[in-house]
Amino acid sequence: MFVAKSVNAEHKDLIHDVSFDFYGKRMATCSSDQSVKIWDLNEDGEWVCTASWKTHCGSVWKVTWAHPEFVSGSGNGIHSTWIKRAGLVDSRTSVMDVKFAPKIQGLQLATCSAGGVVRIYEAPDVMNLNQLHAPMIAVGSDDPNSGSGGKVFIYEFSANTHKWTKVETLLTVTEPVHDLSFAPNLGRSYHLLGIATKDVRIITLKPTKEDSTQNQSSLSIFEVRQAGQFDDHGSTVWRVCWNLTGTILASSGDDGCVRLWKANYLDIWKCISTLRGEAVENVTDAGTTGGSLQQSGATGSGHNTARYFKLAPTAHPAHVPWH
């Protein structure tokens, strides 16, 4: 049997969402009045508002609770104090829903916006949510003049000014840049950037502190280190791409090879495999009627445990080589 209880939520406008915590003894509400309220169940079985604050400049559509493993005790008790730990400002349209992932996947948060975009965020250090880094982009220039300075620029978005600001120039990269790619960050305290230029570059950017002297905004200051520079292609490098975990970098160049790069336990990067498209052997696939697979030769500095197959020829007389 269920017993109905009414609560005067004290919001000044429409209530859009109500969410109970893991134990069912705490409740959060949000409203068009731009506020969030926290309610605790007291010993008399009554809901008491223990915290209330204005959290947005528009209607608040959803509230959700993280697993208690990721929640500190600072928000417990009557007249508790809630502290803003992070601001996620990527969306340019209304955020319509938010949801935390199951605990087994760590502290991850999914959001969906009115613009039709779903974003997934992950906290690299669940004990310090301030380490949720502001959005960054890397921009490369193909200016052929090597005397004009660095060709890679790092920009960071400031939640205070809502502007993109250049926070770093990689002065070691002075040749035209053809491609660059940030590695997925799965718990690292620094960022990894792969760069395709006349050779392969791997750069680490470790945030050290914030600079609040420019435009009254909080901008990161990075400790920049070149983790690797390789000319194994012996020619122009056109593309770089990371695997899903950000541990292996693939590069392709005019030498007709795809090379895979990985760091060892000493954080020393080296080529672990080279895929050559011209070294082809015909092998029969017994499971395909009238078909065959062509195996590309793979060579590397260590023992290869994976076999790579060319599933179909890609060359065509009417096709123009594309980089």
Instruction: Read off the pLDDT of each residue in 231-243 and give the average, rounded to a whole number.
Output: 95
pLDDT bucket at 311, cuts 50 / 70 / 90: low
Mean pLDDT of all residues belonging to the chain: 78
CA distances from 90 to 157, 182, 288, 291 (A): 9, 17, 47, 48
Q: DSSP string of 170-184? A: ETT--SPP-EEEEPP
3-state helix, strand, coil in the chain (%, to 5): 5, 45, 50
Residue 8: pLDDT band by 50, 70, 90 thresholds?
A: low
Alpha carbons 271 and 29: distance in angstroms, whole number: 54
* Residue 292: band (very low, low, confident or very high) from pLDDT cuts 50, 70, 90: very low
Least confident span in 43-47, 125-129, 167-171, 271-275: 125-129
> Which pLDDT band, with edges at 50, 70 and 90, does 184 fall under?
confident
Q: State yes or no: pLDDT of 307 exceeds 60.
A: no
Give yes or no for residue 128 having a pLDDT over 50.
yes
Give yes or no for a contact between 283 and 301, defined as CB atoms under 8 angstroms apart. no
Are 15-131 and 136-269 in the same CATH fold? yes
* Residue entry with tokens 């007389």: 317
pLDDT at position 175, please? 93
217/265: higher pLDDT: 265
Confidence of residue 65 (pLDDT cuts 50, 70, 90): very high
pLDDT of residue 240: 96
CATH 2.30.30.60 corresponds to the domain 136-269: no
% of the chain residues with pLDDT over 90: 39
* Of 210 and 195, the one with more pLDDT: 195
As a whole number of angstroms, the distance between CA 41 and CA 196 comes to 58
Q: Domain 15-131: give its CATH code.
A: 2.130.10.10
**Confidence grade of residue 294 (pLDDT, cut at 50, 70, 90):** very low
Of residues 211 and 109, the one with the higher pLDDT is 109
Please provide residue 38's backbone torsions phi and psi, each rounded to the nearest 5 degrees.
-110, 135
The pLDDT of residue 245 is: 84
Q: Is the pLDDT of residue 63 over 90?
A: yes
pLDDT digits (tens, 9 = 90+) for 243-283: 988 999 999 999 999 999 999 989 999 999 999 865 533 33
Q: Residue 7: its pLDDT value, please?
A: 67
Please state the domain extents for the chain: 15-131, 136-269
Q: Which amino acid is at 242?
A: W
Range list of H helices, the chain: none
Q: Which candidate, 274, 144, 259, 155, places its Cα nearest to that of 217? A: 155
**Residue 241: which pLDDT band, with cuts at 50, 70 and 90?**
very high
pLDDT at 59 over 60: yes
Predicted pLDDT of residue 272: 94
Mean pLDDT score, 129-153: 82
